[in-house]
Amino acid sequence: MMLERPGVTTLGAMTTQHPSAAASPSAGARLVPALTILYHPRLERVGERAVLRDIAVRDAVELSRMTPCFVAPGASRGAPLEDIHLSRKPLRLLALPGRQIRLETSGGRMRIAAQGAPLQTVCDLSEAEVEQGVVIELAERVVLLLHMADPRPPEPGDRLGLIGDNHVVARVRQDIRRVANLETTVLIRGETGTGKELVARAIHEASGRRGRPFVAVNMAAIPLSLAAAELFGAERGAYTGAVQSRPGYFSLAHDGTLFLDEIGEAPPDVQAMLLRALETGEIQAVGAQQPRKTRARLIAATDADLEVRVAEGAFRAPLLHRLAGYEIALPPLRRRRDDIGRLVVHFLREELEASGEARRLDSPAPGELPWLPAPLVARLARHDWPGNVRQLRNTVRQMVMARQEAASLEELPVIERLLERPTPEPRPRADRHGEAAAAPSPSDRVEAEPVSHGAEPPGHGRGKGAGWRKPSEVREEELLDALRRSRWDLKAAAELLGVSRTSLYALVESCPRVRRAGHLPLDEIARCYRECNGHIDAMVERLEVSKRALLRRIRELRLT
């Protein structure tokens, strides 16, 4: 017998935990402009934030040595920038129509730069630019990011090993806490380098299994001929060379957690083996006479669009449904630029402590220049990081290793090689089978319908093949309008906006005003179903969610 728990829907032998069981940190909260310290000569101040609520009230906020007040996440009191090299004459930030923000200098000799360009008098920033994050440099001493942030204080509790305070990272922490002690499978989605294994380990450590094994397996590296033995074990003599019995990964993770990375790369035959193990809860070693129960908790991860792979026949739909008992979407680094300063300092401290040189990060004495230059951090913050956090960490490691070859950190060849060329928005990559594998998806990617690769959306008068818009060019109101006009069909909305489907998923994920069927309370769906007499199109209009995803929720609730 299976007992129903709050927020859990029981489907026969399958239990699905919905991310909507509790509201995400950004749900219901409107993001507001904020300034986050990416660099300060006193590195302990990196990550402090000033929420600019007044910019929507007074239409102007002053930024100088003495104002505004920057507060560390979770702290109750803060302080202004207070660097003596900063001018007392303020830089003014004014709200303009269309959610633009104007930067306006007040004169003086302090060097100010916005996005790497000197600011002479006035600079108007579009809503899309602010959403992407605008890097502001003050006197080559302090680096700030003007961006959109959740004005609410972060939830108290363990940081779970995740560095950063972006509102999407806060949502990931909440997802980890919510799912840690459930027995459901978890599917972690995210671009390469976003930290999928780190999140899997955090789930394990936050659960009652923390004292048991955590076994990580790269599914793309398992040879098909040895897959059964690798996963489930083999008895002595089961095949040529099996001179003794060997445990498989499921046995090694008994009572613990089995993490299957790159699950989208698993060959079809391996997918069939995994599906049977998940459906029956049993495994059978090669050469064994009887199956046996497995108590390993399964977490999978992918940077592929599994829905597209299902449509192409490369991935089994039943396996996807079994794996996605609960989904967690990890944001790319370019969507959380306010965390880049924290990450750079964290990685630098780790590398320097390993070599006994952590003192280099101490606050400089009066008149001394900091070892880590502010302009370098500004350049790092403006980069798009297609390899995400992993690429940033490797870059910091190379900086520390190569620092003796240059007069300053800014002159390191590794930095010049990285930053001398622009980084394009990630495109679908080729997988090992030669097929197009899409970039990762947010937690509601299952609401989308399959899409064929190779066709570019023609939105906004672009002819086919004329190229896609950058997601940073899409304003929030434009996104919402396209979703409404397309009746919440994501494929049609992407075509209206002239962006790729992958870009649309990222825009939807980062927009707190977009509702998702997977996040709707069960009683709201049931009430709407009654009031609309089960008319799905009417429900879509009222709830403003994807029809495909809403139909799935209705079936799960057995309202039909």
d(CA 474, CA 468): 11
Residue 436 has pLDDT above 50, yes or no: no
Tokens 């297609």 map to which residue? Answer: 386
CATH code at 353? 2.60.200.20
* Confidence band of 448 (pLDDT split at 50, 70, 90): very low
Q: Is the same domain home to 324 and 352?
A: no
Query: Which band of pLDDT confidence, cut at 50, 70 and 90, is reported for residue 197?
Result: very high
Cis peptide before 471 (omega within 30 of 0): no
Q: Is the pLDDT of residue 285 over 70?
A: yes
Q: pLDDT at position 434, please?
A: 35
Give yes or no: residues 321 and 342 share one domain.
no
| 483-498 pLDDT per residue, tens | 888 878 777 788 788 8
- Give the rounded percent of residues in the chain with a pLDDT score beyond 70: 80
∠ CA 318-323-326 to the nearest 5 degrees? 125
- pLDDT (mean) for 426-448: 35
Residue 119 domain boundaries: 32-153+334-419
**How far is 160 from 168, CA to CA, in rounded Å?**
14
| 195/304 same-domain check | yes
The answer as to whether 11 is a domain residue is: no
What is the pTM assigned to this prediction? 0.69
Domain limit, last residue, from 329, 356, 377:
329
Q: How far apart are CA 364 and CA 85, in angstroms?
A: 13
HEC-encoded secondary structure of 62-85? EECCCCCCEECCCCCCCECCCCCC
Q: How far apart are CA 445 and CA 328, in angstroms?
A: 11
Determine the Cα–Cα distance for residues 144 and 86; give it in Å rounded to an integer: 13
| Residue 134 and residue 184 in one domain | no
Whether 109 and 220 share a structural domain = no
Domain count, the chain: 2
477 within a domain of the structure (yes/no): no
Distance CA 250, CA 255 (A): 10
Q: Which of 276, 306, 329 represents a domain boundary (last residue)?
A: 329
Residues 6+ apart with CB under 8 A from 353: none
Half-sphere exposure for 163 (CA within 13 Å, toward CB): 21
- Do residues 102 and 236 both lie within one domain? no
Q: Which two tokens stand for residue 399?
A: 């900086």
For residue 7, give the nearest of 170, 182, 154 by alpha carbon: 182
List of residues 6+ apart from 411 with CB closer than 8 A: none
The per-residue pLDDT for range 219-244, each reduced to its tens digit, is 888 888 788 888 888 777 566 565 57
Taking the C-alpha atoms of residue 469 and residue 500, their distance in angstroms, rounded to an integer, is: 8
**Residue 404, SS3 per DSSP:** helix
1 assigned to some structural domain = no
What pLDDT shows up at residue 25? 43
333-376 tens-digit pLDDT: 999 999 999 999 999 999 888 888 888 888 777 767 778 889 99
pLDDT given at position 426: 38
Distance of alpha carbon 199 from alpha carbon 205, whole angstroms: 10
What CATH number is given to the structural domain containing 191?
3.40.50.300
- Cβ atoms of residues 83 and 37 within 8 Å: no
Domain boundary at 419, 442, 458, which? 419
Given a contact cutoff of 8 angstroms between Cβ atoms, the answer to whether 46 and 38 are in contact is yes
